[in-house]
Structure 1
Amino acid sequence: MEIREAKIEDIQQIQIVRNSVKENTLSNPNLVTDKDCEEFLFERGKGWVCEINAEIVGFSIVDVKENNVWALFLHPDFEKKGIGRKLHDCMLDWYFSQTQENIWLGTSPNTRAETFYRKSGWKQIGMHGKNEIKFEMTYQNWKNKHL
């Protein structure tokens, strides 16, 4: 298992993982284009992938322009192996090395993602979009959690 920075040639496999998930699915897979992925990976922020046997099984992407977690997804066959935690921590370590601005994300209620973020120290601050829970992480909370 290798966690590394995402490259442009990873986008096809990132899209496969994104469209394989059972929760927080896209109503229309065409809503997130390869061009969107490229923009968030290389213009707006940065991304990481987890690769096992030359196959991408998970990824995370952070947007430093909007101070937002744009994506954190795992292929369902690779859940509960600590991969999501590694991608999450790598992403937030990098984000808070760039800025001390609070970071936020939205996720559907009553999902494993909601539980994951609560256990990871994210604080619910309201609702967002189409009935998603809005979570926030502060620089101080992240640093305190990882001293």
Structure 2
Amino acid sequence: MSRLRQATRDDTAELWRVRYAVTENRLTPGRIPDAELHAHLEDHGRGWVVELAPGRIAGFAIGDARDGHIWAMFVDPPLHGQGYGRQLHDVMVAWLFAQGHDRLNLGTQPGSRAEAFYRRAGWQPAGDGLDTHGDKRFELHRKDWKPHA
């Protein structure tokens, strides 16, 4: 039985395990320091995990309360398609809208599974080009959001 809960710095090793397991939108280990991750969990925003067992997570999501940016959302690849991503997405989006944002934003690799996921969740492209990281930008407006039933 899985459990959705708020992420803490004690989840750091599992967050990185899941993040580095993702084959699309690769991240070089060590490029983002633990301190930056902890700042997003504790100072700038909030994160959530789907916990499968104590110390073992299926995925995580982190939103930045300052600007409504989706900082990270990843599910362990062998667990794709089981609804964990949508659970994480919906709790994070609801929380960010509750912080007073009317528009949320994110960037993701063009043509990726993540892009298809966000499109199904109601996100719309924000512009035609790519950002400086090569990501396609997306926005979700409060008025257009419908949580998954």
- For the Cα contact (< 8 Å) 1:105–1:136, is it kept in 2? yes
Query: Which position in structure 1 is the counterpart of 2:50?
Result: 50
Normalised TM-score (structure 2):
0.92
Residue 92 of structure 1 deviates from its aligned partner by 0.5
- For the Cα contact (< 8 Å) 1:12–1:34, is it kept in 2? no
Residue 130 of structure 1 deviates from its aligned partner by 2.4
Query: Which position in structure 2 is the counterpart of 1:128?
Result: 131
Equivalent residue for 2:144, pick from 135, 141, 144: 141
Residue 4 of structure 1 deviates from its aligned partner by 0.4
- Runs (5+) with no aligned partner, structure 1: none
Q: Which runs of 4+ in 1 moved over 4 A?
A: none
SS in structure 2 at match of 1:17: helix
Residue 37 of structure 1 deviates from its aligned partner by 0.8
Alignment RMSD: 1.3
SS in structure 1 at match of 2:22: coil
- For the Cα contact (< 8 Å) 1:8–1:38, is it kept in 2? yes
SS in structure 2 at match of 1:117: helix
Residue 101 of structure 1 deviates from its aligned partner by 3.2
- Matched to 1:32, the amino acid is I
- Matched to 1:116, the amino acid is F
Query: Which position in structure 2 is the counterpart of 1:102?
Result: 103
- Matched to 1:129, the amino acid is T
- For the Cα contact (< 8 Å) 2:69–2:106, is it kept in 1? yes
Determine whether 1:38 maps to 2:38. Answer: yes
- Equivalent residues in 2 for 1:63-142, closer than 5 Å: 63-126=64-127, 127-142=130-145
- Runs (5+) with no aligned partner, structure 2: none
Structure with the largest fraction of helix: 1
CA distance, structure 1, for counterparts of residue 60 and residue 53 of structure 2:
15
CA distance, structure 2, for counterparts of residue 132 and residue 114 of structure 1:
10
CA distance, structure 2, for counterparts of residue 129 and residue 102 of structure 1:
21
